Structure 1
């Protein structure tokens, strides 16, 4: 059985543009408080039907490349059966099947263990919902 479980909901303003929002610093801040130097797991969960969590390099163009790939794979047009919201919004409801709404990551000595260029990111293509929540949970 674990020694500790801590969870916190954070608010993220994504605005009215499609975005890949870096959560890595927020995760590290949370772990400084929640992990207390312990080993364990960090779960990042987005409780929305139209957003996901990705591990991706940011700042070198990969975040824009991801959005471009999602546009090619999930065009924002009228082909979708789900038709409320802005045109093409039905694709946003398919996004979590491709970019899952969660990630579970190792924590060693209270530090998130990511690869050199990995960042924890919220992927949000839904321009109709400018405010998101992300649940961070540490078990260790």
Structure 2
């Protein structure tokens, strides 16, 4: 059994979904583990990770609009230490999750044809986000 791990830094342009599929695929290939399990952890409470449609951009637009309806900005939150988008960002991260587990088969991630890995930035402004990456296998 072998393991590999790292912390990847991802710059986001602000609210939206940043496709990190290629970066993850390259890292898995460099790790040289043919069969195993890839685990990703977003080390933040106002950003998250998703596996989502990678072909139709409208899916991500609709998903962002839906999250905005579920957790709208406003003065109705007690927690607003970093501005009006602070608490809604925490709620969106809670809804979408901060970790993923992806099987690695034949040296690559076993994602479906239309699946991509996205770092969801729930804050208005750009941020540098960290993703802890771990791969275990043979």
TM-score (normalizing by structure 1): 0.91
Partner residue in 2 for 1:49: 45
- Kindly state the Cα deviation for residue 86 of structure 1 after the two structures are TM-superposed: 2.1
1:41 is displaced (CA, Å) by 0.6
Distance 2:105 2:27 in 1: 14
Identify the residue that residue 13 of structure 1 maps to in structure 2.
11
Partner of 1:77: 74
Cα pair 1:78 1:88 within 8 Å, conserved: no
Partner of 2:104: 107
Q: Distance in 2 between matches of 1:37 and 1:53?
A: 23
Cα distance in 1 for partners of 2:43, 2:80 equals: 21
The CA RMSD over aligned residues, in Å, is 1.3
For residues 130 and 124 of structure 2, what CA distance do their matches in structure 1 show? 15
Structure 1 residue ranges (4+ consecutive) displaced by more than 3 angstroms after TM superposition: none
Which moves more between the two structures, 51-60 or 117-126?
A: 51-60
Instruction: Number of aligned residue pairs: give it.
Output: 136
Structure 1 residue 76, shift from structure 2 partner? 1.3
Return the match for 1:92 from 89, 94, 98.
Answer: 89
Query: Which 5+ residue runs of structure 1 have no aligned equivalent?
Result: none
**Greater percentage in strand:** 2
| CA separation of 1:130 and 1:123: change in aligned 2, threshold 3 A | same
Separation (CA, whole Å) in 1 of partners of 2:105 and 2:127: 34
1:96: how far off?
Answer: 2.3
How far the C-alpha of 1:88 sits from its partner, in A, is 3.4
